[in-house]
Amino acid sequence: MDQVLLARIQFAMTIGFHFIFPPLTIGLAWMLVIFEAIGWKKKDEVYATIGKFYGKILGLIFAVGVATGIVMEFQFGTNWAEYSKFVGDIFGAPLAAEGVFAFFLESTFLGLYIFGREKVSKGTHWFSIFMVAVGSTISGFWILVANSWQQTPAGYVVRNGRAELTDFWASVFNPSTMPRFYHTIDAALISAAFFVAGVSAYYLLKKQHVEVAKTSLRFAIIFGLIVSVLEVFPFGHEHAKQVAVTQPEKFAATQGLYTSQEGAPIAIFAFPTDHPPTLKVPIEIPGLLSWMAFGDFNAKIRGINEFPRENIPPLFLTFVSYHNMVALGMYFISIMSLAAFLLYKKKLFENKKILKVLMWSIPLPLAAIQLGWIAAEVGRQPWIVYHLMKTKDAVSFTVGTGELLFSIILFALIYILLGSIFLFLLIKKIKHGPEPIAKEALQ
Amino acid sequence: MIDLNIIWFLLVGVLIIGYAILDGFDLGVGVIQLFTKDENERKININSIGPVWDGNEVWLLTGGGALFAAFPIVYATVFSGFYIAFMLLLYFLIFRSVSFEFRKFSESPEAKRRWDLAFAIGSFGPALLYGVAIGNIMRGLPIEIIDGKIVSNITFLGILNPYSLLIGILGLVMFTMHGAIYLTMKTEGNHQQKMIDWANKTWMGFIVLYVISTLATFFVAPYLFHGMLKNPLFWMLFILLLLSIVYIPVGLKAKRFGYTFLASAINIASIVGLFAVSLFPKLVPSSIDLANYSLTIYNASSTQRTLETMLIIALIGVPIVLVYTIVIYRIFRGKVILTKDSY
């Protein structure tokens, strides 16, 4: 095992585990902004109860997000020293901006939100959750700026053996920043919608907290349907169009297009192999890929064969993770549409089957987020910064394999422990259920 | 002409001071938690920092980000060089960060005790390790510049030298004192008296350790004192340090806990300030060739354009942060009141 592989395993593991929590934080915070607003403005005790309950859960999720996020802030220096030296002039700024503009905001106001419920006015309390939502979203923005710069670097010049900043705004709003920002933040909203819907469905199945659960389920279904549709169109579509233009190798790998062609088909299902690059048992729709990427059924799309073998990403993983993400995205729209239809027909709350499906769907948006991230990062390989620096040249050469093994094993053990305790406490809290707030408390 | 490199040296210093003062008392409370047997006192201790510790820790993250942005060579060289020590620090911080909410969500007293322990050890470790890191930087690290490339050969065992451990213990005692003084503002009665005792005892320990550390530094890193006797800034900080440290027992005796806390904060700021003044313009001294191989604010920095951009970001962002931080500290001022929402 070499340093590069071990460093990559550690990064994938630590970011993968971390990336479970921020999407839920962002999504839940925005849903709470609405719950708490209705509870406060309309003096609605059901919404106030929902707000307080999911507010507590937000505290738990946020804590694990913070704990695992500290690692990310420093891991570029500890494990990717050559990368840090090469990109520090550009990459450090978004991380620092995230700290100043986002971390302080979300952390400080979360403290006020959790501890201030009885201490400050209802308006101030609402403002605190609003600031948490704004802060966590800005945080997502700056992280996506940094990562998007790795995908589609802009506003720099390579001088003195490193990438030097020439245009700050060009580097911030590089070609992939905004498409990826919308796509990722909306994914966060989906994850929270499914979380609230699933928990509410569980209560309805158990016939507990029925009034509260009906209200939160109704909200989560309508909200979830809207964000699930938006995720595919326009956000997913726009992002794919951008990748087709800015990173053709990655686009070809995600789509399984191994030879250039005009009127390229979309592969709905296939089993890809790396050597040689082929799709086995493909189910394809002719011409559709060309149309979706360039608005023309006959447009030529460059296949993997046009790029040097050493510069193409791992084909199997990129294709499979991307396609499963898309399949899940379609599933989200379908299940939310069905639930919304039943809601409209006033048959949702009694339909045990769909309530069960909703309950078991809680982890699926998080799985889709992981798959999307794998497609984005593996699809960029072998580059750590697209067409500028290769991943194999970016690690800390002073950190030996023994040290890496030590830290990987400890991270694995700690994260398994944290993950289990988190789930245990979360499930216990959900089973315990919301504590009703009396109407008088809202006056 | 404004020297942006100097400004960023100052700004990184401000972030480190902000972190040391604010998360410093969190860490100190954690250390005290390790020795607190009474269940109710432990609950008050952890809740005294409950609403603010997370915001305090952000100073560390922002400091890390600022170091990356302004002095990427230092960020890359030091963090990868201190690999194992840094990983240990991260593990401690992970456990500390989850301990608050995990404690709240656990119901049995045994489970709560477990998370108190995680909080305590997760604070004890960093409180010690920060000083060890500073000690190693003062000694100088084995850094060479060969063909324009920075080569470092830092080993984990090399980090664990007696001098750096001494500085580590000095930091640990300083943070514990700071935490005890913070708790005097937040507690009442018997509990408060215990904290006053803690503050007085750690104050004595701090003075003894500070004198020993200063003497040791004369031998281990004499370069830090070069030119200092003629440097007015050095004397100013030194006098500030003396005044604040002398005031601490006086303030405790007079029960002026707010002022005592301020003195403790000034004490920390002047210690970090003295370290910065002695180090300037170096960031990481080389133990191989101090004059030629040290990482300085000039050879380890980002470009002028990045420093300038970052300065604008800091000038917009930091004042806003300070305003709402102060507002929220004011909301939560006074003694700890335990409610159902407490940890």
- Taking Cα atoms as reference points, which of A265, A262, A302 lies closest to residue A287? A265
Q: Does B197 touch chain A (CB under 8 A)?
A: no
The residue count for chain B: 343
Q: What is the pLDDT of residue B131?
A: 94
Answer yes or no: do A428 and B105 touch at CB < 8 A: yes
Below-50 pLDDT ranges, chain A: none
- Taking Cα atoms as reference points, which of B188, B79, B97 lies closest to residue A65? B97
Answer yes or no: do A414 and B94 touch at CB < 8 A: yes
pLDDT digits (tens, 9 = 90+) for A158-181: 998 899 999 999 999 999 999 999
Distance from CA of A105 to the nearest CA of B (A): 7
Q: In chain A, positions 45-84, which contact chain B (CB-CB < 8 Å)?
A: 59-60, 62-64, 66-71, 73-74, 76-79, 81-82, 84
Provide DSSP, A176-245. Answer: THHHHHHHHHHHHHHHHHHHHHHHHHHHHHHT-SHHHHHHHHHHHHHHHHHHHHHIIIIIIHHHHHHHHH
CB atoms closer than 10 angstroms to residue B68: 27
Distance from CA of A289 to the nearest CA of B (A): 40
- Taking Cα atoms as reference points, which of A25, A5, A4, A7 lies closest to residue A15? A7
Distance from CA of B53 to the nearest CA of A (A): 8
Answer yes or no: do B87 and A76 touch at CB < 8 A: no
Q: Does A238 touch chain B (CB under 8 A)?
A: no
Q: What is the pLDDT of residue B262?
A: 96
pTM metric for this prediction: 0.93
- According to DSSP, residue A379 is labeled T
Give ipTM to 2 decimals.
0.90
- Taking Cα atoms as reference points, which of A103, A27, A33, A24 lies closest to residue A61? A24
Answer yes or no: do A428 and B102 touch at CB < 8 A: no
Q: What is the pLDDT of residue B1?
A: 62
Sign, CA torsion B63/B64/B70/B71: positive
Q: What is the pLDDT of residue B145?
A: 82
Query: Is-contact B328 A108, C-beta < 8 A?
Result: yes
Answer yes or no: do A165 and B303 touch at CB < 8 A: yes
Q: Choose the mutation target among A91, A104, A411 for the interface with B, i.e. most B CBs under 10 Å.
A: A104
Query: Is-contact A203 A197, C-beta < 8 A?
Result: no
Below-70 pLDDT ranges, chain B: 1
Q: What is the pLDDT of residue B176?
A: 96
Query: Is-contact B172 B128, C-beta < 8 A?
Result: yes
